[in-house]
Amino acid sequence: MIKLLRLEYLKFRRNRVFRIMALLYLLLLPGLLVVGFNIKGIPEELGSIEQFFIFPTIWSLLAYLGNWLSFFFLGIVGVLSITLEFEHRTLRQNIITGLSRPQFFGAKWIWLFTLSALATLYYVLVAGVTGLLFTETIYLSKVAEGLSNIGRYGLMTLAYASFGWLVGTLLRRTGLALFSYLIYAFFVELLIRWALHFQYFPHPSMHYYPLNAFEDLAQPPIPQIAKEFMRENDFSLYLSTNEAVVIALAYLFLFWALIYWRMRRSDL
């Protein structure tokens, strides 16, 4: 396992795009909090801006902000992790020099899992430090109240990275795969949901599409007044926590199965 991880690290440690993606994630995750804290003109009924930066709300706020960063950066890294192998013929070289296809699949899985774990640990660090700085009286129960966000955040990062890996495996070319990844997220999934569910089949299953389910793993911190309004009117903008986790896990295993099947059958 360590050998496979080291092999992947050696491939990408000098890759400029990978370095830029990692640096931007490190800078923007706390940077978005700074920008958010300086937002003026928040409605009075929503309370003060400071309430979003204390425990336990900071966990969900930073998870929501990190959701967008994970989509871009970890998803793009997922695409590049396999398309660069095809373009540089390193996948063929790995197989020739003794790495089996299951081992190659395992190496990619370990690499993306490790990146997701590191991204999640950084999220915990930034959220924890921010909460300590802004929370006047810290109670362990309040800190622990939002800890469930950590597991969902980790699942979300791995899901985006795996989706990018799948798109890259199917399309192979970096430019085409990146374009398809972004187009699907911003247009295709939304268009399908609008054309099918809003026009002909209004059903909660409209929330079950992959990227929507991944996004719902890290929901924004909704003020209590908004929660009460949705409860009174019996509607929700998001999947429940359990639904999002189950659907995301189902998609993850489906993605990995498709990737493994494609790798076993593809010519190099």
pLDDT at residue 44, as a whole number: 57
Q: Which two tokens stand for residue 57?
A: 């709300």
HEC string of 15-31? CHHHHHHHHHHHHHHHH
Of residues 242 and 43, more confidence is placed in 242
**Burial classification of residue 158, based on how many CB atoms lie within 10 Å of its CB (0-12 exposed, 13-18 middle, 19 or more buried):** buried
Of residues 47 and 230, more confidence is placed in 47
| Mean pLDDT calculated for residue range 231-259 | 86
pLDDT tens column, 43-98: 555 567 888 899 999 999 999 999 999 999 999 999 999 999 988 887 777 765 67
Percent of the chain whose predicted confidence (pLDDT) is above 70: 89
Residue 223 has pLDDT above 60, yes or no: no
pLDDT at residue 225, as a whole number: 44
| Mean pLDDT calculated for residue range 220-230 | 57
**57 C-beta neighbours (distance < 10 Å), count:** 20
Of residues 238 and 6, more confidence is placed in 6
Q: Where are the domains of the chain?
A: 2-265
pTM: 0.93
Q: Which two tokens stand for residue 90?
A: 């390193």
